[in-house]
Amino acid sequence: MATRNKILVPEAKEALNRFKMEAATEVGTPLTNGYNGDLTSRQNGSVGGQMVKKIIENYENTIK
């Protein structure tokens, strides 16, 4: 059975999409709005990894 991600804060959806596109640009992944099934798992994973890296850096900068 497939599970679906539930959007808890619908107002944040556009900001998260912009964040994802920014991270994709930084790692050189040709991410587009819409279908991205032609990208490899490595490419998609690098986008998520970059997003996590930036979130952690932001948090570390706020607690100093």
Angle, CA of 42, 60 and 20, to the nearest 5°: 35
pLDDT at 64 over 90: no
pLDDT tens figures, 2-12:
667 787 888 88
Residue spans of the domains in the chain: they are 14-25+42-64
- Give the pTM: 0.78
Q: DSSP 3-state assignment of 43? A: helix
pLDDT tens figures, 3-41:
677 878 888 888 999 999 999 999 999 999 889 899 999
